[in-house]
């Protein structure tokens, strides 16, 4: 997953801060949306061992490498949320760390937002890190260190044991109230309990999504993010009237690799190969060779289900759109859709 801007603490902090300010907005009362900084902290151990790994590093490395970007987001950019990491640091799970959570985040940096666990991470307290004997103790441990919210599923939901933790005297209701207040404060700041007309960001229409100005801004960002390190004999840019161009590599014509994960879906994807073919002149032959396989010797190709669907002899699928989630009454729109992935905002009555 693409969950960091890279290894440079300064660059990560600057890019992350810009993202926070852009997403959260500038209104003095309301957030546009809230941003969550993750994974706090020292989250760079072996990926397969992250649920049980105990990171032990020097204080110099902690402050020089792992914390600067978080400090930029919390202190300067005022990020609304922080996600504590799966791993342990100095013998304590990060979501229950005296140093990371209490001493640094809440006291030194005076963090005023909310903290959430990574998904199923609190289960690690007692199942993998073995720092707590059971779910109730783990739940109390996390709350007392300032983890307000648990991301979890099913039987791994450790905060289901908070009632037991209170009954056993492991945590007080007043300490739970502190977390509840922080969580509801964020919801109020998102305008969830105010009239829609009172919340400025609720007035943004869906029509701005992929609008021409936004596409132009995205194109400018992409162009200005490219760094050309070497250009012997001014080979680039290539002439459009070259006789033949060879494009090599398994990622050159694979749409899926452009998306990564935790991603949205643009209405149109252009692979490097397609972009080159669109740019060259009509007399230029573009030859594509995959060249090598991926490590698994399998090239992932997304299944285009839309190409396999038909309704009454027409390609695509038959769609009916209703007003509201109950799907009651006559549909407000009925039409044949060519693809499955598109914005509902594009539906015309």
Q: CA-based diameter of the chain, in Å? A: 79
Strands annotated E in the chain: 36-40, 54-55, 81-84, 88-89, 92-93, 114-117, 244-248, 285-289, 310-311, 314-315, 317-321, 333-337
The SS3 assignment for 91 reads: coil
The SS3 assignment for 309 reads: coil
Known catalytic residue at 124? no
**Whether 119 contacts 152, CB under 8 Å:** yes
How many angstroms separate the CA atoms of 281 and 284, rounded?
6
Q: Which residues contact 48 (CB under 8 A, 6 or more apart)?
A: none
How many angstroms separate the CA atoms of 177 and 70, rounded?
26
Marked catalytic residue, from 61, 72, 98, 118 = 118
Q: Which residues contact 73 (CB under 8 A, 6 or more apart)?
A: 13, 16, 17, 20, 35, 37, 79
Enzyme catalytic residues: 118
């Amino acid at each position: 997953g693409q969950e960091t801007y890279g290894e440079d603490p300064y660059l990560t902090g600057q890019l992350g801060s810009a993202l926070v300010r852009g997403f959260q907005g500038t209104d003095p009362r309301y957030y546009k949306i809230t941003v969550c900084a993750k994974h706090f902290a020292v989250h760079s151990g072996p990926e397969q061992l992250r649920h049980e790994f105990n990171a032990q590093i020097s204080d110099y490395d902690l402050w020089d490498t792992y914390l600067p970007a978080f400090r930029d987001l919390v202190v300067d950019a005022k990020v609304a949320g922080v996600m504590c990491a799966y791993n342990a640091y100095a013998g304590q799970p990060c979501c229950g760390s005296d140093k990371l959570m209490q001493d640094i985040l809440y006291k030194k940096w005076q963090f005023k937002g909310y903290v959430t666990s990574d998904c199923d991470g609190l289960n690690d307290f007692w199942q993998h890190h073995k720092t707590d004997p059971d779910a109730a103790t783990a739940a109390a441990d996390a709350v007392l260190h300032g983890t307000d919210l648990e991301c979890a599923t099913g039987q791994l939901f450790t905060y289901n044991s908070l009632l037991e933790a209170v009954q056993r005297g492991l945590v007080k209701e007043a300490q739970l109230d502190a977390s509840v207040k922080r969580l509801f404060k964020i919801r109020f700041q998102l305008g969830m309990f105010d009239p829609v007309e009172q919340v400025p960001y609720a007035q943004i229409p869906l029509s701005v999504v992929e609008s021409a100005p936004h596409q132009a801004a995205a194109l400018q960002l992409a162009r200005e993010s490219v760094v050309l390190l070497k250009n012997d004999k001014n080979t680039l840019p290539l002439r459009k009237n070259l006789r033949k161009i060879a494009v090599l590599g398994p990622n050159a014509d694979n749409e899926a690799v452009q998306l990564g994960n935790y991603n949205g879906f643009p209405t149109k994807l252009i692979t490097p190969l397609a972009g080159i073919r669109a740019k060259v002149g009509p007399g230029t032959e573009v030859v594509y060779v995959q060249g090598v396989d991926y490590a698994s010797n399998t090239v992932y190709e997304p299944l285009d289900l839309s190409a396999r669907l038909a309704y009454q002899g027409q390609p695509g699928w038959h769609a009916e759109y209703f007003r509201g989630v109950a799907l009651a009454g006559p549909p407000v729109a009925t039409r044949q859709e060519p693809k499955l992935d598109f914005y509902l905002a594009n539906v015309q009555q």
